[in-house]
Amino acid sequence: MPSLGADMDEGVLLEWLVRPGQQVHKGDVVAVVETSKSTIEVECFDTGTVQHLLVEPGTTVPVGTPLAVIGTGPQATHPASAAPRRRRAPVPARPKTPGAVPHKAPAEARRPAPFAPDAARPPAPAPVAATGPLVRHLAHDRGIDLSAVHGTGPGGRITRTDVEHAAPAGRRIPASPLARRLAEELHVSLADVPGSGAHGVVRAADIRAAAEAAGTVTASAAAPAPVRPAPARRAADRATAMRHAIGALMARSKREIPHYYLSTTIDLAAALEWMHEHNRHSPVSERLVPAALLLKAAALAADQVPELNGFWTEDRFAPGSGVHLGVAVSLRGGGLVAPALHHADTLALPELMAALKDLVARARTGRLRGSETTDPTITVTNLGDQGVESVFGVIYPPQVALVGFGRVVERPFATGGLLGVRPVVTATLSADHRATDGAVGARYLTAVDHLLQKPEEL
């Protein structure tokens, strides 16, 4: 289960889009996952053959849980031949506890397989029932959900080894009670904090250090997620969960990021004149809206002022690779998401327009891709269509800047000593003072202004 955002610590596997035996390539959409924010298409991060699907649709699993096994490289085996080979997978060579327990494990593994005939077929996820009491006991002790464990024993049986291998995902991390409590309060994931105590126990000081290093723990610095009873969430629960997730993330932003704010009014006469001219000669499908110009200008300016395009992690700024413009999209049921327009600075305006339409449509139907939720390097919020003239946003951690555009309005405006009524927009910048100072932010807004004065070059 990939982390599809700084505020995610578990997800519901809604649907598999691939079958065992199917070839997949890096970037293919292989599954649909529901998070507290939206439904997201998970992209495959590797190329190979799907061997086993480990998680049944409808199951809620924590971030980090293996969802499927992909065989890579030339030796990738067909599941039918993999199963018998794996059946001989040895039981642990050195059991941890002496006594009666270790003797049971080999017995378990050697037991005649009731599902032996099935081995010829591509194996389905092992039924949870096909385990012995020892395995169930071990799984219970280690807090492992057996339905998420892949069985390598005869007929897909879950063996003791499988449970032991699954342990890291569900393993209880040794931590002092205070550290555990602080981790929850400070939204720090225990799994990401190296323990400085005896035997690697995580202690309060470790959590505080991790929380201070804030940006570092983004991937898993999750809000304390309420325990949700069933994967089939009602809309109201979903809205509540989303409110909670947004709340946790924004609170963290305001708690950790020293924001500074800049604002400027930009004359859009030239840009809109150019746009209208462009639209007059274009088919309806290729017509532009002012937002596209503003986004393009914001992306190009981020390329020119790279200090604002990236992330604050480990107490330092890490520049983004490319400008992936986060676009804040408000959802109909309430709440918002800010998925990425990848490489927005390199898209021609019609391409950007098309990508934007697609992105907004998918965000509203809840079909975003994983990379779109995690990649944004700088975010733009455009509240113009809501009628307000300016917006000072809250930075989306671990990004370091958020650009705001208000409504395009006609105002008396003086240029070159002449007063006229011109279309103007208020552009704002909220930026992380740890990463940049006001001068950098000013350079950014000035760059946006200059870009919008030469729309033909956008």
Binder among 177, 194, 283, 387 for another protein (CB under 8 A): 177
Nearer of residues 177 and 387 to another protein, judged by Cβ: 177
Q: Determine the Cα–Cα distance for residues 444 and 341; give it in Å rounded to an integer.
A: 19
Shortest separation between residue 184's beta carbon and another protein, angstroms: 10
Binder among 113, 128, 204, 209 for another protein (CB under 8 A): 204
Of the listed pieces 15-23, 197-205, 341-349, 418-426, which binds another protein according to CB under 8 A?
A: 197-205
Nearer of residues 212 and 277 to another protein, judged by Cβ: 212
Angle between helices 100-110 and 160-170 (to 10 degrees): 110
Quick check: 357 and 347 in contact, CB under 8 A?
no
Nearer of residues 185 and 277 to another protein, judged by Cβ: 185
Of the listed pieces 195-203, 249-257, 399-407, 417-425, which binds another protein according to CB under 8 A?
A: 195-203
Quick check: 323 and 302 in contact, CB under 8 A?
yes
Shortest separation between residue 195's beta carbon and another protein, angstroms: 12
Question: Hey, which residues does 311 pair with through a beta bridge?
Answer: 318, 399
Residue that is written with structure tokens 């000013």 in the block: 442
Binder among 47, 176, 264, 446 for another protein (CB under 8 A): 176
Count interface residues toward another protein (CB under 8 A): 11
Binder among 85, 121, 171, 181 for another protein (CB under 8 A): 181
* Two structure tokens written together for 248: 């946790």
Shortest separation between residue 224's beta carbon and another protein, angstroms: 14
Secondary structure of residue 318 in the 3-state scheme: strand
Nearer of residues 177 and 417 to another protein, judged by Cβ: 177
Tell which residue, 444, 434, 189, has the closest CA to residue 316: 434
Q: Determine the Cα–Cα distance for residues 68 and 199; give it in Å rounded to an integer.
A: 32
Binder among 71, 127, 197, 350 for another protein (CB under 8 A): 197
Binder among 157, 203, 252, 343 for another protein (CB under 8 A): 203
Shortest separation between residue 201's beta carbon and another protein, angstroms: 8
Non-local CB neighbours of 140 within 8 Å, separated by 6+ positions: none
Shortest separation between residue 86's beta carbon and another protein, angstroms: 42
Binder among 89, 124, 178, 421 for another protein (CB under 8 A): 178
Quick check: 407 and 384 in contact, CB under 8 A?
yes
**180 binding another protein? (CB under 8 A):** yes
* Two structure tokens written together for 47: 């190329």
Cβ atoms < 10 Å from Cβ of 269: 17
Quick check: 240 and 225 in contact, CB under 8 A?
no
- Binders of another protein among residues 116 to 135 (CB under 8 A) are none
**194 binding another protein? (CB under 8 A):** no
Binder among 30, 61, 149, 179 for another protein (CB under 8 A): 179
Of the listed pieces 27-35, 110-118, 179-187, 275-283, which binds another protein according to CB under 8 A?
A: 179-187
Q: Determine the Cα–Cα distance for residues 160 and 136; give it in Å rounded to an integer.
A: 9
* Two structure tokens written together for 330: 């408000």
**245 binding another protein? (CB under 8 A):** no
Sheet with 368-369: strands ordered across: 59-62, 10-16, 29-34, 39-43, 368-369
Amino acid (one-letter) located at 9: D
Q: Determine the Cα–Cα distance for residues 405 and 380; give it in Å rounded to an integer.
A: 8
List interacting residues with another protein (CB under 8 A).
Answer: 176-181, 197-198, 203-205
